[in-house]
Amino acid sequence: MRFSHMLIPTTKEVPNDATLPSHIYLIRGGFIQNVGGSGLYNFLPLGKRVLDTVRAIAKEELDAAGCQEVDLAFVTPASLWEESGRYEKYGKELLRLKDRKENAFVLGPTHEEMMVNLVRHTVRSYKQLPINLYQIKTKFRDEIRPRFGLMRGREFLMKDGYSFHKDAEDMKINGFDNMERAYRRIFDRLGLDYRIVEADSGAIGGSGSKEFMVLAESGEDTIVVCDHCSYGANIEAAKRAPKPAPVYADDEAPEMTRTDFHTPGVTTIDALAEFFHIDSHHLIKAVAKKALYDEGVEKIVLFFIRGNDALEETKACNAVDANELIDISEEALRAAGLTPGYMGFNALPEGVIFRMDQELRGENNLIMGANRAEYHTIGVQMPDVSEHYADLVAVQAGDVCSHCGGTLRHTKGIEVGHIFQLGTRYSEPMGATFLDENGKAKPYEMGTYGIGISRLLAAIIEQHHDDRGCIWTPNTAPFAVEIIISNVKKEAEREAGEALYAQLKAAGVEVLLDDRPERFGSKMSDYELIGIPLAVVIGKKLAEGQAEIIVREGLDRVDHPVDTLFDAVMKRL
C-alpha cells in the first residue's frame, strides 16, 4: 500500500478530550475518528486493518477450539428480554426503541437471549450437545459516561460466545475451561501482558467467572494480586484472609462491658477512635445506601463493617440482591428515623435492612452507634445470625492472601475478556430445554464468553507505546514493514524504495511505502506515531550504497547495504 494513496489523517494536535495514550495516538495516528463526541468512532483504513487482524486471530483460535461463528440480528425483540427478566434489570445502558407499529425492540448490548432463542428452536437432544456458538459484532450500550476513546465507547465491537451443555460438569470442562485456554492463546498471540482474575458476575448473572485483565496503569478496574502466589481477583470479588487484630503489648486488648456512652460531636470513625483511644479495628462503621429493585422498589440498607475497612459496593449490592446501590442523603436517613453519625444495628427503625461483614462474626468488645443522637454503644457483641452476614469489604493493599498467606496488592487492569459459568440463568426462564438420555426435558447448562475486540486496540496501545506514538505488537500491526523514501524527488531514492516495495509485496509481505512528497521529518514522525514494527529508510546514505533499518520498539537503527536489504528485512519479520 502506498501512503500517498491511503487515508491516514495524522495530526500534530492532541484532541483536547483525550487523556490516555491509546486515545491520543489512535486519533493522532489516523486509526479512528470521533463522530460528534459521545463515544462513537469511525474506523479509518489503518484502524480497520488492525481491527480485522485482531478479529481474525480471535476467530482462528475460537474455530480451532470447536466454536462456530454465527451472526445474530442486531435489533432484537424486547419480548425476548422480558422472558429472561432482563428488560427491566439491565437499566439505561440498554437502548430501547420502537418500530412504526409501536413494537418494542432493543439494540443488543449482549445476546444471551437471542442465542438461547436460536438454540431452543434448533437443538432438541443431548446428542447435539455440547455446542458453542459465537459472533463478532457491533454492540451498543448507552453508557452513562463514554470516555477514553475505544476503551469505553457506546458502540463497540465485541466477540460474544455462548456454550450449551447437558450438565454442569460438561459446561465446566468443555465450555468454561476450554474457553479459558482459547482465550489464553488469543491474548498470547496478540502480545499482551495480562492476568486472569476471579470476577464478580454482574448483571449477566450466573456464578463462577473470570476476567482477562491487560495490566496497565490506566486501567479502569482495580485488581488485587498476590505477590507470592498466582491469586488474582477483581476488587469486586477479591477475598482475603480475615484481618488480624492489632498487636498489643501484654494483655492490653480492649475489654469493655456493654453500655451506652455519651459521645457528643463524635460522628466519624477517626473521631471515635480518638475519643476512645482505640484502634479503629474495634469500631463498627455503618455505611448507608439506597438499594434499588425492580418495579421502582427502594429500600434503605445499612452495611456494617470494621472501622478500618472500606465497603466494596459490588459485594454490598450482591449481598442485598439489589439491582443497584445509590448514595443516600443525610436528610433521607433522618426521615427514615436514622441518626447519621450514630447508626448501629440495634433498635433499627422499621423498613431498614442491614448486612454485616462476615469477618465481624463472633467478635465482641466492639464500639458502634447506639441509634440515638450523641450515643455510642461499647462492648458490642456480634449476633450469630447467618443471614445477616456477607462479604462486604474491599480488599486493601497489604491484606493477607487467603490462599498462601502472601501479601496482597492493588494494580490496574483493562478488562478485555470475561468468561462466565452461567448455568441455567437464561435457559430456565426462557424454557430452553433438551431431552436427556432418559427422555426428560432439562434446561441447558450454559457458559458465556466475551472479548472486547475494539477495546483491545486501546489495550494494546496502553501497554505498547512510547512518547512518540504506537508500538504495535508483531501480530497486530497494520503493516509488517514501512519503507520511507526520504526525498521522493531524488530518482535514485525513489527507485530503490520502489524496488524493495515490489520485492516485499511479491513475497506476500504487508508493506507500506511512504512515497509522499513530504519532508523527512514529517515522515519519520508519522512513522513513529503509527508504530509499524519495522521500517526501512532510503535516504542520503544511498550514495554509499546503504539504507537504514529501524526497529520501532526502542527506535534502534542500523545501516545495511541496499543490495541485500530484502533478505535483511525478511529475516527480521
302, 286 contact by CB (below 8 A): yes
Specify the residue, 80 or 488, whose C-beta has the smaller distance to RNA.
488
The least distance separating RNA from the CB of residue 356, rounded to whole angstroms, comes to 21
The least distance separating RNA from the CB of residue 61, rounded to whole angstroms, comes to 16
Per-residue cell: 99: 418500530
Distance (Å, whole) CA 322 – CA 446: 24
Query: CB under 7 A: which stretch of 69-77, 253-261, 294-302, 445-453 binds RNA?
Result: 445-453
- Among 112, 309, 312, 415, contact with RNA (rule: CB under 7 A): 415
The least distance separating RNA from the CB of residue 40, rounded to whole angstroms, comes to 8
Per-residue cell: 85: 427478566
Query: CB under 7 A: which stretch of 4-12, 115-123, 371-379, 423-431 binds RNA?
Result: 4-12
Specify the residue, 281 or 541, whose C-beta has the smaller distance to RNA.
541
Identify residue 459 by its one-letter amino acid code: A
Residues 529-548 that bind RNA (CB under 7 A): 529, 537-542, 547-548
- Among 132, 371, 421, 454, contact with RNA (rule: CB under 7 A): 454
- Residue 49 engages RNA in binding (rule: CB under 7 A): no
Q: What is the DSSP letter of 202?
A: G
Of 260, 378, 356, which Cα lies nearest the Cα of 306? 356
Specify the residue, 15 or 242, whose C-beta has the smaller distance to RNA.
15
- Residue 93 engages RNA in binding (rule: CB under 7 A): yes
137, 115 contact by CB (below 8 A): no
Distance (Å, whole) CA 54 – CA 205: 28
Q: Could you tell me where the DSSP H helices lie in 157-286? A: 168-170, 178-190, 269-276
The least distance separating RNA from the CB of residue 143, rounded to whole angstroms, comes to 5
The least distance separating RNA from the CB of residue 406, rounded to whole angstroms, comes to 26
Per-residue cell: 445: 447448562
Collapsing DSSP states into helix, strand and coil, what is residue 59?
helix
65-80 burial: b if 16+ Cβ within 10 Å, else e: bebeeeebeeebbbeb
- Residue 455 engages RNA in binding (rule: CB under 7 A): yes
Residues 17-46 that bind RNA (CB under 7 A): 17, 19, 36-39
Specify the residue, 326 or 347, whose C-beta has the smaller distance to RNA.
326
Residues 480-499 that bind RNA (CB under 7 A): 486-487, 489
The least distance separating RNA from the CB of residue 153, rounded to whole angstroms, comes to 5
Counting DSSP H helices and E strands in the chain, the numbers are 14, 31
The least distance separating RNA from the CB of residue 324, rounded to whole angstroms, comes to 6
Specify the residue, 282 or 355, whose C-beta has the smaller distance to RNA.
355
Furthest CA-CA distance within the chain: 95
Distance (Å, whole) CA 536 – CA 310: 55
- Residue 91 engages RNA in binding (rule: CB under 7 A): yes
Of 445, 386, 419, which Cα lies nearest the Cα of 187? 419
Query: CB under 7 A: which stretch of 100-108, 336-344, 391-399, 513-521 binds RNA?
Result: 513-521
Specify the residue, 91 or 191, whose C-beta has the smaller distance to RNA.
91
Residues 220-249 that bind RNA (CB under 7 A): 220-221
- Among 30, 153, 254, 443, contact with RNA (rule: CB under 7 A): 153
- Residue 522 engages RNA in binding (rule: CB under 7 A): yes
Cis peptide before 533 (omega within 30 of 0): no
Residues 303-342 that bind RNA (CB under 7 A): 313-314, 317, 324-326
Residue the block writes with cell 466519624: 268
The least distance separating RNA from the CB of residue 304, rounded to whole angstroms, comes to 20
Residues 551-570 that bind RNA (CB under 7 A): 555, 557
Specify the residue, 157 or 273, whose C-beta has the smaller distance to RNA.
157
Query: CB under 7 A: which stretch of 96-104, 149-157, 349-357, 373-381 binds RNA?
Result: 149-157
Q: Is 532 exposed, middle or buried (0-12, 13-18, 19+ CB in 10 A)?
A: buried
Specify the residue, 205 or 254, whose C-beta has the smaller distance to RNA.
205
Distance (Å, whole) CA 143 – CA 70: 26
Query: CB under 7 A: which stretch of 7-15, 255-263, 360-368, 436-444 binds RNA?
Result: 7-15
496, 538 contact by CB (below 8 A): yes
Interface size with RNA, residues (CB under 7 A)? 72
Q: What is the DSSP letter of 246?
A: P
Distance (Å, whole) CA 300 – CA 280: 25
The least distance separating RNA from the CB of residue 472, rounded to whole angstroms, comes to 17
β-sheet bridge partners, residue 2: 513
- Among 418, 465, 552, 560, contact with RNA (rule: CB under 7 A): 418
Specify the residue, 432 or 537, whose C-beta has the smaller distance to RNA.
537
The least distance separating RNA from the CB of residue 485, rounded to whole angstroms, comes to 10
Of 37, 7, 5, which Cα lies nearest the Cα of 530? 7
Q: Could you tell me where the DSSP H helices lie in 85-131? A: 86-89, 112-120
Residues 172-231 that bind RNA (CB under 7 A): 202-204, 211, 220-221
Distance (Å, whole) CA 542 – CA 549: 13
Residues 461-480 that bind RNA (CB under 7 A): 468
Specify the residue, 110 or 339, whose C-beta has the smaller distance to RNA.
110
Of 280, 233, 246, which Cα lies nearest the Cα of 408? 233
